Structures are given as structure tokens and as C-alpha cells.
Amino acid sequence: MTFNRKILASSVAFAAATLMATGAQAEMSDDAVRIGYLADMSGTYRDLAGPGGLEALQMAIEDFGGEVNGTPIEVLSADDRNSADVGANTVREWFDTQNVDLVSGLVASSVAIAATKVVEENNGLAIVSGSAASSITNEHCAPTHIHWVYDTYPMANATAKAVVDQGGDSWFLLTADYAFGHAMEKDVTEVVEESGGTVVDSVRHPFPTTDFSSYILQAQGSGAKVVGLANAGGDTVNAIKTASQFGLTQSGQQLAGLIVFLNDIYAMGLEATQGLLLTTGWYWNMDDESREWAERYYERVGSMPGMVHAGIYSSTTHYLNTVEEIGSDDPEAVRAAMAEKPIDDFFSRNGRIREDGRMIHDMYLVQVNAPEDATHDWDLYEVLSTIPAEQAYRPLSESQCDLVNN
């Protein structure tokens, strides 16, 4: 009886509190700000975002204080197992049964595209941090998602342009034989030719491929100065390793990785990757601010963060700041307000959100250190130059996005 009375009393108190709260912040959708983190936690892209990304998300929330204007922040997380239907399903369920306010993470392109379609249907909000697909803010653009960290456009184009400018004017392209590789091959060929170089030959290898020796031999025979890798993930890793075994760089050819990540370089080791040119959205050792955050992350996770991890922290913080400022978690209002503010933090410099949903920020051309130049395990890159935000990404004038007036 006393027990029941207690419950009754507390529920009355709760109802009153809720009423008051509703009075105070008329626009909060319910009793919590819920962020759903969807990523590959166990498969191919685990190291790119995965559990580390969840940790970064939680760091952002803790640093923010765990609540927005008194409303607690809750995190849900799920493993998409790199499957578009598992991903889309999870997000749909989050909207239908959990009232999720923001979907974060989103790594494999198939999952990211599928999930953002569901978010669009439900008029929610998503921030894509892990995926490389530039189509997310091009033909698949929608007012309900933002693409934060990077995409293939700066990764491929900036690297190609920089390499040609440094004198690498004849290219051999090693292309993954599917839609993604073909698109990148086309982009890079354009950039190389615009910058005054030529693509002398290319070979399309099946996806995925483990043994690249045959293709590397063909690249060596081509006589091109630069061998560009228009592939990603495991294929890039395998190609780089094989190139190093066949002495590609020793014989005077330069390797250009178009989609390479910090965790790939770390896994391959500096011996195999030294001298590689690539573009990144952020590097943990690029300045004091970045180092400070990276070291905190390292304490918790045990490895250094890549740009996706940092981007998840940055995007979550920007989201929470915006919600606090406008006192609402209404997706449309938040999305609009997020775009009004510039984004300048340890991760993003000169950042802003364009109307197509692309968050543009400075990118960096880096070169992988030689083993003798590295002072410790994670001393992997040397930053060569900064690519200004406005030049790094696909210009809006070339956009196929419906949200852009062309």
C-alpha cells in the first residue's frame, strides 16, 4: 500500500515536473534528446568508425554535461553489419518506437544511403560521418541529412591535383571494377588532364582482390610516373603492400592513394607505405588543440583517433550546441540553425554547412613518414599543405542536388 502510494506520489510529481518542463521549453519533442549511433561494429569498417566512434560520441556528450537545458541526452547504438537492410530497419525502428532525434555514425555507403532515405521519410535528422560517397550530398541529397567529415571528391581530386603540381604528370590508374571505382576513375582523369597531366593507361581489377602482383607488374611496365589507386579499403591496402614488395617506389614511381585512412596506414606499417601522398580531413598530430583531444581519446580507446572519430565528436558537439541555443530538438529547426553558424573547433577549420548538406572544411594533403622519421608508433603523417574548404569539395555549380538552384 505504502509502496503504491509512493509510486502515485512520484508519478504526480513527475507529471507536474513534465508539465512545468513543457511550459519552460515548449519545443523539446519529449523527455530526452536521443542520439542513435549506427555503424559497422564488427566488420570491414570497424576500425574506421566502429566502437571508437561510439566512444567519441559519448565523450562529446560527457563534455557537454550530459543534458541539454535540463533534458537528458540518451545514446542508442547498433551494429549495421554493413548491411543496408539491417541499417535501414534499425533506423526505421528507432523512429517508430524510440523517438530518436539524431542518427549519427553511418559508415558503409550502402548503409548510409539506405539510412538517410529512411530519415528523410520520417523527417528526422542524420549526420553522416563515416561514409565516403559524395553522392550523399549530390544525387542522394536531402534536407534531412548532413555529410560531415570527408567524401571522395576532395580525397581523390585534391590528391590528384597536388601530385600533378609536384611534377607527377603521367598516371597509371588502378581502378576497382564497380560503380564506385568507375566514378573515381572518371573524376581523377578529369583533374589530371585539367592540371596538365595525362593518364597513360589503366587497369580495372575485380572487387575485392587480394593479390595485386599482376596489376602492379602492369603498372611498372606502363612507365607512368604515378600509380593512382582508384579503389578503397582492403583493395588499397593490398595494392600498397604489393607495390612495396615489388619495389615500385624504389624504381622511381610514385604511389597516390585516393581513399586511404589513418588506420590503414597504421595497419600496413610505415615500411610499406612511406612516401604515399593522400588527403585527410584531420590528423591528430596537426596542432596542439588536436593533440590534446586525441590524447584524451587515446586514454579511453587505446588507439589514436582517425578523422571519422574526431568528426563524430565535432558534429555531435555542434548539434548539441545548436539544440541548446534554440531550445528545440525539432529536426528542421535544428538543421537550419546548424547551417547558420560557422564550425570552428579542433576538427573543423573554416567549416560551414552548405545547402546541399555538405559540411565543408579545410582538408590537408599529407605524406606518410619514412620509418626513420617517425618518433613513435602513431607518428604517421607529415602535413604538406592545407586545401581551403571552399576549394576542397565539389563546387555547387556542378551539383545535381535538388536543393541547389542551378
Partner 1 sequence: MSATRTLTPAMKLRRKAKVRRNILYLVLLAIALVAPFVAYPVFLMKLLCFALFACAFNLLLGYAGLLSFGHAAFLATGGYFTGIMLASYPGLTPELGILIGTLASVVLGTLFGALAIRRQGIYFAMVTLALSQMMFFFFIQAPFTGGEDGLHGVPRGELFGIISLDNNINMYYFVLAVFLIGFAIIRRAVHSPYGQVLRAIRENEPRAVSLGYNVDAYKLVAFVLSAGLAGLAGSTKTVVFQLASLTDAHWHMSGEVILMTLLGGVGTLFGPLVGAGVVVSLQTQLAQSPLGNWVSVILGAIFVICVLSFRSGIVGEIQKVVKKNFK
Partner 2 sequence: MTMIFGVPLMVFMGQLMLGLINGAFYALLSLGLAVIFGLLKIINFAHGAMYMLGAFAALLGLQYLGLNYWAALLVVPLVVGGLGMLIERFILRRIAHLDHLYGLLLTFGLALIFEGSLTNFFGVSGSSYPTPEALQGGVNLGFMFLPIYRGWVLIAALAVCLATWFIIERTRLGAYLRAGTENPALMQAFGVNVPQLITLTYGFGVALAAFAGVLAAPLYPVSPTMGSSLLIVVFAVVVIGGMGSIIGAVITGLAMGLIEGLTKVYYPEAANTVIFVVMVVVLMLRPAGLFGKEA
User: Among residues 218, 285, 367, 386, which is the contact residue for partner 2, using CB under 8 A?
Assistant: 218
Element spanning 221, H or E? helix 213-222
Provide the grid cell at 238: 593490398
Binding mask 29-68 for partner 1 (x = CB under 8 A): ------------xx--------x-----------------
Provide the grid cell at 236: 588499397
By CB under 8 A, is residue 267 in contact with partner 2?
yes
**Footprint (CB under 8 A) of partner 1, residues 70-109:** 76-86, 88-90, 92-93, 96-97, 108-109
Provide the grid cell at 143: 534536407
CB atoms near residue 372 (< 10 Å): 7
Minimum CB separation of residue 105 from partner 1 in Å reads 13
Number of C-alpha atoms within 13 angstroms, CB side, residue 122? 24
Residue that has been written with the C-alpha cell 544525387 in this structure: 139
Residue that has been written with the C-alpha cell 572487387 in this structure: 207
**Is the preceding peptide bond at 371 cis, omega within 30 degrees of 0?**
no
Nearest in space to 317 (alpha carbons), one of 57, 49, 78, 55: 57
8 A C-beta contact, residue 99 and residue 29: yes
Minimum CB separation of residue 43 from partner 2 in Å reads 6
Number of C-alpha atoms within 13 angstroms, CB side, residue 220? 18
What are the backbone angles phi and psi of residue 82, rounded to the nearest 5°? 55, 25
Question: Using CB distances below 5 to 8 A depending on partner kind, what does residue 77 bind out of partner 1, partner 2, none?
Answer: partner 1
Burial class (CB in 10 A: 0-12, 13-18, 19+), 24: exposed
CA distances from 318 to 4, 31, 339 (A): 43, 21, 10
Minimum CB separation of residue 80 from partner 1 in Å reads 8
Provide the grid cell at 123: 523527417
**Footprint (CB under 8 A) of partner 2, residues 171-210:** 177, 203-206, 208-210
What are the backbone angles phi and psi of residue 11, rounded to the nearest 5°? -70, -35
By CB under 8 A, is residue 213 in contact with partner 2?
yes
By CB under 8 A, is residue 397 in contact with partner 2?
no
**Footprint (CB under 8 A) of partner 1, residues 181-240:** 206-207
User: Among residues 132, 237, 277, 343, which is the contact residue for partner 2, using CB under 8 A?
Assistant: 237
Minimum CB separation of residue 48 from partner 2 in Å reads 8
**Footprint (CB under 8 A) of partner 2, residues 31-70:** 42-44, 46-47, 50
User: Among residues 27, 211, 287, 373, which is the contact residue for partner 2, using CB under 8 A?
Assistant: 211
Q: Dihedral, CA atoms, 344, 158, 262, 241, nearest 10 degrees?
A: 180
Task: State which residue, 166 or 214, has the beta carbon closest to partner 1.
Answer: 214
DSSP string, 154-184: IIIIIHHHHHHHTT--EEEEEEESSHHHHHH
Minimum CB separation of residue 1 from partner 2 in Å reads 50
Question: Using CB distances below 5 to 8 A depending on partner kind, what does residue 218 bind out of partner 2, partner 1, none?
Answer: partner 2
Nearest in space to 94 (alpha carbons), one of 30, 145, 33, 34: 34
Question: Using CB distances below 5 to 8 A depending on partner kind, what does residue 338 bind out of partner 1, partner 2, none?
Answer: none
Question: Using CB distances below 5 to 8 A depending on partner kind, what does residue 140 bind out of partner 2, partner 1, none?
Answer: partner 1
Minimum CB separation of residue 133 from partner 1 in Å reads 6
Sequence-distant (≥ 6) Cβ neighbours of residue 292 within 8 angstroms: 346
Task: State which residue, 79 or 264, has the beta carbon closest to partner 1.
Answer: 79
User: Among residues 49, 129, 140, 155, which is the contact residue for partner 1, using CB under 8 A?
Assistant: 140
Task: Count the residues of the shown chain that bind partner 2, applying the rule CB under 8 A.
Answer: 37
Question: Using CB distances below 5 to 8 A depending on partner kind, what does residue 271 bind out of partner 1, partner 2, none?
Answer: partner 2
Task: Count the residues of the shown chain that bind partner 1, applying the rule CB under 8 A.
Answer: 36
By CB under 8 A, is residue 371 in contact with partner 2?
no
Q: At what angle do helices 84-93 and 109-121 cross, to 10 degrees?
A: 30
What residues line the site for partner 2 (CB under 8 A)? 42-44, 46-47, 50, 177, 203-206, 208-211, 213-215, 217-218, 220-221, 234, 237-238, 241, 245-247, 251, 263-264, 267-269, 271-272
Please report, as ranges, the residues that interact with partner 1 according to CB under 8 A. Answer: 41-42, 51, 76-86, 88-90, 92-93, 96-97, 108-110, 113-114, 117, 133, 135, 140, 177-180, 206-207
